[in-house]
Structure formats: C-alpha cells, structure tokens
Chains A and B, each alone.
Chain A
C-alpha cells in the first residue's frame, strides 16, 4: 500500500513535471505564434499599402483608358503595363526629366533619340522588361546554337500551335499577367520544333532502297513543308504582335513620342534591339522554307559566276568592253561588295537600307560606264530605267554568290514597314527579288546541268 502510495506520489510529481514542461513548450509556442501573427500583420499592412498604391495607379491607368463595355485582353494588359509604368515613374526621376525636356522642344530628333537611348539603358523600365520577356523567353536565342542545315521536320509543332491559338482565344479572362503565355507557348513550339529538327536525321541515303515508300515519303514531305510554312507564318505574326505591343507601351510611357517622326524613330530603335538577337535563328527558319529556291539560285550562281554582264542581258553601253579601265576589278564590283554587307546586319531596316544603297551604286556605276563610252555627244541624262537596271541587278546578284539572299528578301518582305512598301525601299526590295527570280530561272529546266556557258 505504502509503496503504491509512494509510487503514486512519484508519479504525480513526474506528471506535474511533465505538465510543466508541456506548459512551457505551449507558452513558448504561443509566443512564437503571436510573434508570427504580429509579423504577418506588419507584412499585411505593408502589402496593403503597396496594394493601395498599386490600385491607385491602376485606377489612374484605368482612367487613362476609360472605355465602356468589356475589355479585350490586350486592353487589360495595357492597363496593367501602364500601371507598372506609373509605379516606375514614382520611383525614378529620369522619365520626368526627359518628358520636361521634350515638352520644351518637341520633335527635336536629337532629344528623341536621346530619350530612346536612355530608355534602352534602363533594363528595369517596364518597356525594357516587356522587350526581354518577349524576346528572351522565346527560344530564338537558344535556337542560335541549333543547326538547321540537314534535318527533316515533324508535323506536331503546327498542330500544337493551333491548339494554343484556340485555347488563348477561348479564355480571355485570365489576362492580367498571363497574357504572354500563349505567345511564349508558341515560341516554345519553335524550340521544340527546332530540337526535333536536330533529332530526326534526314533520309537522304536510304531513299533508293525503299521504292514502295517513295510516294508515301513525298506525301510526308509535302505535309512537312506545309506545316513548316504554317509555322513560319505563326512566328511572323507573333513577331509583328510583339513589336506592336512594345511600341504601344513605349508611346504610353512617353506620350511625347507620339508624333509621326518620333514614332518612326521609336519603331526603328525598338526593332533594332528586338531583331538583333533573333535574326539568325529566324533566318534559319526562312531558309528551311525556301530551301529549294535557294538551291536553284545557288546552282545558277555557281554556273554563271564568271559570265560577262552582256551575257545576262546588260546593254553593251552600260559596261566597259575593255576591262583594263577597271584596274583589275570587274564591272559593278562596288555594288556587289555593298550587297554582300547585307548579311552582316541583323535588323530589317538596316538591311533594306543596304539594298537601296546597292541599287544606287548600280545607277552610279552605269552612269560612269556610259560616260566612259559616249564621250563625244554627252547624253542629256544618263539615268537608267528598269529595263537596264534589272539585268545589272541580276548580274550583281550572281556575282554576290549569296543564295541566302532569297530567304533574306522573303524575311524582309514580311517585316518591311507598310509606309516603305510603295517607297524606294519597297521598290529596291521588289527589284532584288525579281532579279533573284530571274537568276533562278536561268538554270535550264531539270537538275543543275554541267553546261558552262549561258545564252
């Protein structure tokens, strides 16, 4: 009995002790809990303040875009972006300074380019963040390392792409920050597609052994080609959208840039930074699509590389018969050199300028050569029309030995500004494309022939 009582007392003591430690732990936990709650409350308060500020700015943005009825996802996105611009401007001084400067002397091209250069140097400005988001999340960059030269493609990318398109149209409500996802997905498709290009080897070797499969294979080839073209179309559309979005955010951030001239400057700068890292993979895709044409042009260039201008139909008065006067060079060499620079540019506008310069040099050379011959009665005007220009351009294209011009031109046609389309840039691009088509057609029908001399 006694023992038991003692035992109970000991037990009790033990229990009490346990209870005390438990109590201690509990209170400690409570304290910690309280601390956490306080911290959370503080954080919440801070967040509420931030959120209030954000909402205030968002409201300001909404007022700026006062529209009635439902908003498109694009409008939604613009509001969000504009709010982030306002937020940025609360924390940074430089936009205000530039705005004030431009208000004093609007349309000053030096100021405009200064502002744009300044904007480009602030990677945390919403415009630049958008640029990076559109550009670097795209796999164009990673695709730089991929080789596209000899690979066949899979059909899946374009199907995936379509699926994405319909999906993005179907749910326009989750717009706020997720707007970019469908575009990213389509860029991801390109990445997937580019890797597939690497995985699937070409069947060039074993085609001959499998005769029954030939028609099937050609069908597959057709399908692949169509898928590839569709894919390219989607990419081109994405790029146009991306540039439009960049420009509109740019003009939202700096309304002072919203004049015809400043806008042009703005577009030019934005395009230059946008295209520079993506042009090479983009061109690779164009080259894949225009592969057959390039091959034909390449064969022509190879075959007729050393023909005289007269052989491609250049009027005899437009090149010197005695090549000695050219001191070791060949007719129109300066134009050929200029055209070769085209591939060193990575921005469509710069490339177009290069083509325009090439044609102008041709006109200059033609005039010089004509004056060289007809010095007795100097012609009233040595200007040459398209009848003379096109054969010379074909000659220059042949001499350039750059079959990729076919793809470069196709890409430029997609990205030339509408305003330039009927202008000098458009005319020069069209002429170069015509000349290349002519070069392509110089090949006798069928496979590249061994015949060394043209007509």
Chain B
C-alpha cells in the first residue's frame, strides 16, 4: 500500500484532560463551523469528525473526547485503544491539571507504546498572569517523554489550528513509516484492528478541499 494520492487516512485522536481545563472548548473552536447552525441530533462536543486536505492527501480525523473526572479514570483504556494521536490538555493556571497530564502520558505509553503521537497542550494562555506551570517545565517534560508541547487559548482562538495541523502531519509520517516497514515485511494483507486505516479511494463528491467539518 503506497501512500500515493487517492488514499484517505483515517486517524483517531483522543482528547484527555481534567474537567475544567477547557478541552471541550478547544475542539469546539477547532470545529466551529459545525455549530453555526443548530444541530440537535449530533453528538456535539463529545465526538467530532473533520475532513482535511494536507499536502494533497485526504485525512479524516475522528476526535474522541473522554471524561476527565477521577471516577472515570479506570474507563480510559477502552477509549485509547487504536488511537493514532492523543491531545493532553492542562490549564496553565492549574499545577494539578499538569500533574494529571503526566499520569495520562504514562498510561498511554504503557498501552500504546511509541506509535501514538502525543501533544501536550497548555490551554488558557489568555490568563498568562495567573500562570502556575512554567513554560520551561512543561516543554522540558514534553521533550522527555517524546511529546510535543503547544500553547493555546480556546477563548482567543490561538494556537488551535496549528496544534491540529501539526498533529495530523506527525500522524501521517508515523503511518507512512509503518506502511514502509510493513511493505518490507512479509505481508501487507491484514492490519487487524490496530493502527492506521487507509481507505481505498472512491469518488466522493462531497469532499471539499481544506478543513471543513461534517457532522459525525
């Protein structure tokens, strides 16, 4: 399976973060167009899809929100399974939320190894004055665990587009690497339920180029 044009990448991204860090606002911002008109029958902010066109390749993004409350922690693993990427959000004004991110990183690495692309996101940079997690500490930590660090503000719509675009590119690189290594290996027949799914191309009129949302 070569990643030539005409293939569509499908990626699953899980969204993790404590209750008040603003992860829901973050994805809502990213998929804003969706909420211009009233959709009562969508899953709204819990499950979102977005179709993108990155360097000529089509990408279908499925964003899975997870519950951040402590009592739902044990349920995490069934959400992470088969994820290609994870966005771990903390509130820059809340040291505790950053500690929670560290726990999730450990869990994700344990479950999914190095195949998953991790993004650690410090949200609410509009509240810079009340910052409790230093930039150096956060970026240092991210580097130490092989994650990338981003700063965003859902309120001011800052850094969000870049975050998702960057994540998509990294997931595509990982997928291409995997394809190549599979190509060298014995067979490329069944990928099972793990990893990236590459769907054969088919004529689909309703795929506009550029980032446009479709309801999930």
Contact = CB atoms under 8 A, between A and B. Distances in A.
A174 interface: no
A385 B69 contact: no
A270 interface: no
Contact of B24 (A385, A418, A422, A438): A385
Interface stretch (A198-206, A247-255, A429-437): A429-437
A383 B12 CA distance: 21
Nearest to B68: A387
Contacts of A95: none
Interface in A371-393: 381, 383-387, 389-391
Interface in B45-92: 45-47, 49, 62, 64-69, 71-72, 74-75, 78-79, 82
A133 interface: no
Interface stretch (B34-42, B96-104, B115-123, B134-142): B34-42
A38 B114 CA distance: 77
Given A260-B200, A385-B23, A390-B67, A423 B216 contact: yes
B44 interface: yes
B105 to A, nearest CB: 19
A169 B44 CA distance: 49
Contact of B47 (A367, A381, A424): A424
A33 B120 CA distance: 92
Contact of B71 (A313, A386, A422, A424): A313
Given A360-B42, A363-B42, A389 B10 contact: no
A258 B196 CA distance: 23
Contact of B62 (A418, A423, A441): A423
Interface in A352-373: 359-360, 363-364, 367
B197 interface: yes
Contacts of A428: 43, 47
Nearest to B17: A387
A427 interface: yes
A359 B34 CA distance: 18
Most buried by B among A363, A387, A391: A387
A363 B72 CA distance: 19
The secondary-structure label for the interface of chain A is helix
Interface size class of B (residues with CB under 8 A): 35 or more
A437 B77 CA distance: 12
Most buried by A among B24, B43, B78: B43
B12 A424 contact: no
B128 interface: no
A386 B42 contact: no
B43 A421 contact: no
Interface string B176-212: 0000000000000000010001011010000000000
B28 interface: yes
Given A383-B24, A418-B193, A438 B71 contact: yes
Interface in A238-280: 259-261
A363 B40 contact: yes
Given A422-B197, A427-B64, A385 B78 contact: no
A433 B62 CA distance: 19
A367 B72 contact: no
A363 B62 contact: no
A419 interface: yes
A386 B35 contact: no
A304 to B, nearest CB: 14
B43 A359 contact: yes
B75 A383 contact: no
B170 to A, nearest CB: 18
A422 B202 contact: no
Contact of A434 (B42, B68, B75): B75
Given A422-B10, A422-B12, A387 B24 contact: yes
B44 A386 contact: no
Given A421-B193, A422-B82, A383 B40 contact: no
A383 B74 contact: no
A441 B74 contact: yes
Contacts of B6: none
Interface string A135-163: 00000000000000000000000000000
B67 A386 contact: yes
Contacts of B64: 386, 422, 427, 430
Contacts of A438: 71-72, 75
14 contacts: A360-B42, A363-B44, A363-B46, A381-B28, A383-B24, A387-B65, A387-B67, A390-B72, A418-B197, A422-B62, A423-B216, A427-B46, A427-B62, A437-B75
Given A360-B42, A385-B46, 16 more contacts: A359-B46, A360-B43, A364-B40, A364-B41, A367-B44, A381-B44, A383-B24, A383-B44, A385-B45, A386-B68, A387-B68, A391-B67, A427-B64, A437-B74, A437-B75, A438-B71
Q: 6 shortest A-B CB distances, which residue pairs?
A: A385-B24, A383-B44, A386-B65, A383-B45, A434-B75, A422-B12
